[in-house]
Structure 1
Amino acid sequence: MSNQMEYKCPACSGALAFDSASQKLKCPFCDSVYNLDQFEQQQPDPAQQAQAQQGEQPATGGMNWNVEPGSEWAAGETDDISVLSCNSCGGEIVCEDTTASATCPYCGNPVVLKGKLSGMLKPDCIIPFKLDKNQAKEALKRHVARKKLVPALFKDKNHIEEIKGVYVPFWLFDAQVAANISYKGERTRTWSDAKYKYIEHNYYRIYRAGYVAFDQVPVDGSKKMADDLMESIEPFDFSQAVDFKTAYLAGYMADKYDVDAETSIKTANARIRWSTEDAFQSTVQGFTGVTAEESYINLQNGVARYALYPVWLLNTRWNGKDYVFAMNGQTGKFVGDLPLDKKAYQRNFAILGGIFSIVASVLAFLADYIFF
């Protein structure tokens, strides 16, 4: 018995792709549409199938503490998934097995090496794409159109077609925080008389203690994805996250994480600590100056999850520099730098200079004519 999972159209046998508009599986050949859950039910669950073959029952329940987010792939679950590796930047892109070739969404170079998926955990959840490729292209066109002096390459229709939908790996951290922070506060009072100016300083010891709950603190799991770029297109609405199914990858790519959860804990703790200290200090008011002296922060009931977030990406290399455009595939928030075409700038400057020279000459002539 084969464990292979296939997402083929029952009507024409074409490869189905996840349609962001309808949130269903859609055939690009005959336009048939299938409900995701119903289609999943038609396929044998690899985990249940493997357990059934071993005479086991599916496990139920869970643990309150999860130090290892994600899970192992079941037997046969990755048969239709391959990994494309980029020789240039080292990026590894997870995609459908039918993808023959592609360009790297991070550096734009051709991706030629192909292998089977290994060494990657199965995501706990995923936020499916809500915006399709046409919407991403229109957003990019509007972004470029606002900049008049950009190189022609950035406006090229064929180049814009290369924009790719990529699921970016994230580690999400939940925690309850117990904090106890002491501050030194200062209040000043100023007055004067006929001879002197007086300043009175009063100092106070201030204490704050309490609890804060954090949900889905995100840490980017990809070294190739610039952190400031991802922070610029945040936030993502986690309320729309669903349990991961391989069908959501149909028609898209997924970045294979190269920063594990253990490494990401340091970043998550720093964000939680900073947010906690900022929230507590915001309650200390009515002072001319406040300084934190002692800070005790204890994280409890920490839970980590592995998630995939949707991002539209386009990488453009121009004059030896990479320009990356990113759009939140859920909300449509779009960011990206655009270079100045110096030749176009100089050409426009010369044209405007010529026009101003002609206008100045005409005005000078008219002034002389009127004077005489």
Structure 2
Amino acid sequence: MTSPTRTPAHPCAGCGASVAFAPGTTALRCPYCGLEQQIAAPTRQVRELSYEAFLAKPRIQTLAPNQFTCPGCAARTESDAISRTCQFCGTVLVADTANDSQIAPEAVLPFALDRDGARSALRTWVRSRWFAPNRLKKVTEAESMKSTYLPHWTFDTGTVSDYVGQRGEHYWITTSYTDSKGQRRTRRERRTRWYPAGGRVARDFDDVLVPATTQVDVEDLNELQPWPLKQAVPFHPHYVAGHHSLRYDTEPPVGLEQAKVIMRDVIEKDCRRDIGGDVQRVFSVDTHYSNVMFKLVLLPVWAGNYLFSGKTYQVLINGANGEVQGDRPYSAVKIALAVLAASVLIGAVVWLYLAART
């Protein structure tokens, strides 16, 4: 069980109100008087954890929620979040991750995009949607926009892979055929000779990224990549103060299997390059993973919803670079016109081709 935590309120040195991390800066900013307090530079580097050492530890079967005691109004609440604001008085709350039974975040990629920047990214995205109703361009702001740090796992490992496959080499032959007018003609046709192939390839992987939460669609999160992970800093509560932060609900073993799927595609490309030739077939790959290291990193996302024609659509905005991924409506009229135009174009090309042969 996690014990109740009396979280510091990050008081403003000017007016005493709770301050929050200001996106795009290295400071905590008071939302009332605007006073900024610089966050001290990190005194250590981002560290990786040994996956082998993790497996040797006892596993937690039941995870208790974080318990918060608000220093502002003394309200006690429970949440699966790492950071949030008090629902009664708005005081900034950050859990004491050192006493959490979960793996503590090792790194955080601070928000670079503030709320105005997120709105601007949304407006640009809306205007660039092809086949969307024209009225969608009038949507300039999400109905709700919450800055949220989402947990992700990164994995480092060395790999050695033994493969079995075939190498294909092209060659050309001349064949005869009878055309539609009954005349004998010749043409060049390509053939492929196949030779057995096998070998070994090696590759080191660094920061293979997979989501550690199931509360957001994985495909939507993957569309927000790439993330500037080299800009991540060692975790400190100041960076998440005033922003919502989720705990992970995907355990490291599940995350590692997802990372292996990503690595598998890269390894197969290595095998094909090693086989050489004009084309390749890969029948089997046996990969050995060594020195697996991992860490939990929090990534910044603006999550919002906008209303269009009585329906709510969700959008996610990469809080580091402004990349937008989300749902959008489609215009049946625009799609029908595009299909009609394509049909006319294809018909014109076919007519010109037939006209040239007569």
Shared fold, TM over 0.5:
yes
Deviation at 1:23, TM superposition (A): 1.9
Structure 2 counterpart SS, 1:236: coil
Other-structure match for 2:195 = 204
User: Of 149, 161, 166, which aligns to 2:133?
Assistant: 149
2:225 aligned with 1:243, yes or no? no
Instruction: Quote the offset at 1:291 in angstroms.
Output: 1.1
One-letter identity of the residue aligned with 2:282: A
**Alignment correspondent of 1:7:** 10
Describe the SS at the equivalent of 1:31.
Answer: coil
Q: In structure 1, what is the equivalent of residue 343 of structure 2?
A: none
Correspondence for 1:129 = 111
Q: Structure 1 length as normaliser, TM-score?
A: 0.67
Q: Partner residue of 1:68?
A: 54
Task: Give the unaligned 5+ runs of structure 2.
Answer: 61-65, 178-185, 338-358
1:318 CA displacement: 6.4
Amino acid at match of 1:267: Q
- The verdict on how the C-alpha distance between 1:277 and 1:80 changes in structure 2, with shifts beyond 3 A counting, is farther
For the aligned residues, what is the CA RMSD?
A: 4.0
Residue correspondence of structure 1 range 34-49 to structure 2 within 5 A: 34-37=37-40
2:276 alignment partner AA: Q
Identity of aligned residues (%): 20
Q: How does 1:271-350 map to 2 (within 5 A)?
A: 271-287=262-278, 289-316=279-306, 323-340=313-330
Work out the CA distance in 1 between the residues paired with 2:245 and 2:295: 17
TM-score computed with the length of structure 2 as normaliser: 0.70
* Match among 143, 165, 168 for residue 150 of structure 2: 168
Deviation at 1:176, TM superposition (A): 0.5
Following superposition, the deviation at residue 30 of structure 1 comes to 2.1
Query: Structure 2 matches for 1:109-128, cutoff 5 A?
Result: 120-128=102-110
Structure 2 residue corresponding to 1:269, chosen from 260, 270, 275: 260
Mapping 1:44-123, distance limit 5 Å = 64-65=50-51, 67-68=53-54, 92-100=80-88, 120-123=102-105
Question: Does the C-alpha gap of structure 1 residues 251 and 193 become closer, same or farther in structure 2, counting only changes over 3 Å?
Answer: closer
* CA displacement, residues 72-92 of structure 1 (integer Å, 9 cap, x when unaligned): 9xxx9975698776xxxxxx5
Q: Name the CA distance, whole Å, in 1 between partners of 2:36 and 2:125.
A: 32
After superposition, residues 162-241 of structure 1 pair within 5 angstroms as: 162-192=144-174, 202-241=193-232
Q: Deviations over 1:257-312 (max 9, x none)?
A: 2222122222112221222112231343332x321133221000001211110111
Between Structure 1 and Structure 2, the one with more strand by share is 2
Equivalent in the alignment of 1:260: 251
Give, in angstroms, the shift of residue 129 of structure 1: 0.5
CA drift of 1:186 comes to 2.4
What number of residue pairs does the alignment pair up? 298
What is the CA-CA distance between 1:153 and the residue it aligns to?
11
CA-CA distance at 1:199 after TM superposition: 7.7
How far did 1:67 drift? 4.8
Query: Which residue matches 2:36?
Result: 33
Distance 2:273 2:70 in 1: 52
Structure 2 contact 157–205 (Cα < 8 Å) conserved: yes
